[in-house]
Copies of this chain bind each other. A is one copy, B any other.
Amino acid sequence: MTKKSTRPLILITNDDGISAPGIKNLIEAAAPYGDLVIVGPDSPQSGMGHAITISKPLRIDKVKIYPEHTAYQCSGTPVDCVKIAVDKIMHRKPDILLSGINHGSNSSINVIYSGTMSAAVEGAIEGIPSVGFSLLDYSYEADFTFSREVVQWTIQRILKHGMSKGTLLNINIPKLPIEKVKGYKICRQANAKWKEAFDERVDPNGRKYFWLKGEFDNFDKGKDTDEWALKNGYVSVVPVQFDLTAHQEIKKLQKWTS
């Protein structure tokens, strides 16, 4: 980071931890397009959503696992990684932020629980064109060959078209052999939810405990959703925003104050 470079500066993070195969594949796919700075969590942070670390200190340590790049592990959440990268590690605002490649889907309502996506949301809040990538395969042995193509397809388009302020992308990749993938679909977030069914168990001391378990319930029949795209062999590309205002409700709620 001391040499001056005119190449794009790309910040890379994830939520599965800095040593996960997903981020390794993201790094290798992105490397030809810019100078990379990697700041990933030092342990898995799945399901952390937009959590930040307020009540305890954060650590960052330089690591050598990606020797061709500047890489740090951070003791915090994915959002902490982005915040500390921008404030303390990088000498200028990155041109692109890439988060992932997540092991498992972040389509539909999962965008809200996902550490991968929250890191990308935080990047967008910072004004950085940001993307979260997820492959629909939880296995650490997953084949990322096509996912790497998706990463490069995306970077090429960001460099060519830019991205609108206040928005980011949620890109999910179906678990399919390359020849079966039908292409890319720009979609909306499907209206779906997890139906909880906590697993109830008893510990060796006789005390009850619960483990989060659930079933994904997609009640959205739209063919313009990410769920439809993924089920039908497409890569889903959902533009996401961090303005959570339900603008259409503002007029309706006026009657509350009259």
What chain B residues lie within 8 Å of A243 (beta carbons)?
188-189, 191
In the complex, per-residue mask of A183-206: 1 if CB is within 8 Å of any chain B CB, else 0: 111111101010011101101000
Cβ–Cβ contact A57 & B244, under 8 A: no
Our pick among B58, B79, B247 for the contact of A209 (Cβ within 8 Å) is: B58
| Contact, CB under 8 Å: B54 / A51 | no
CB nearest to A48 among chain B residues:
B51
One of A18-26, A92-100, A109-117, A172-180 contacting the partner: A109-117
Is A118 interfacial (CB-CB < 8 Å)? yes
Contact between A212 and B51, CB atoms less than 8 A apart:
no
**Known A84-B210, A88-B210, A257-B183: A112·B57 in contact at CB below 8 Å:** no
Please tell me if the beta carbons of A257 and B52 are within 8 angstroms of each other in the complex: no
With a cutoff of 8 Å between Cβ atoms, the chain B residues found around residue A245 in the complex are 188-189, 238-241
**CB within 8 Å of B: which of A53-92?**
53-55, 57-60, 77, 79-80, 83-84, 86-88
Question: Is A11 close to B, CB under 8 A?
Answer: no
Complex interface bits, A117-155 against B, C-beta within 8 A gives 1, otherwise 0: 010010001100000000000000000000000000000
Whether the pair B201, A57 counts as a contact (CB closer than 8 A) is yes
The answer to whether A118 and B55 have CB atoms under 8 Å apart is no
Q: Out of B47, B87, B121, B250, which one reaches A197, CB within 8 Å?
A: B87
Q: Which of A167, A189, A246 has the most CB of B within 10 A?
A: A246
Q: Whole-angstrom distance between the alpha carbons of A54 and B207 in the complex? A: 19
* Assembly CA distance A80 to B51 (angstroms): 13
Q: Judging by beta carbons under 8 Å apart, are B237 and A241 in contact? A: no
> Roughly how many angstroms separate A55 CA and B60 CA in the complex, as a whole number?
23
Q: Does A40 contact B (CB under 8 A)?
A: no
Which residues does chain B contribute within 8 Å of A80, judged by CB atoms?
212
Chain B residues in 8 Å Cβ range of A3: none
> Which residues of chain B come closer than 8 Å to A185, judged between CB atoms?
257
Cβ-defined partner of A212 (8 Å) among B49, B52, B125, B238:
B52
9 contacts between A and B (CB under 8 A): A51-B51, A57-B203, A87-B196, A109-B125, A109-B242, A167-B249, A188-B243, A239-B249, A240-B246
CB-based closest 3 A-B pairs: A49-B50, A239-B249, A241-B246
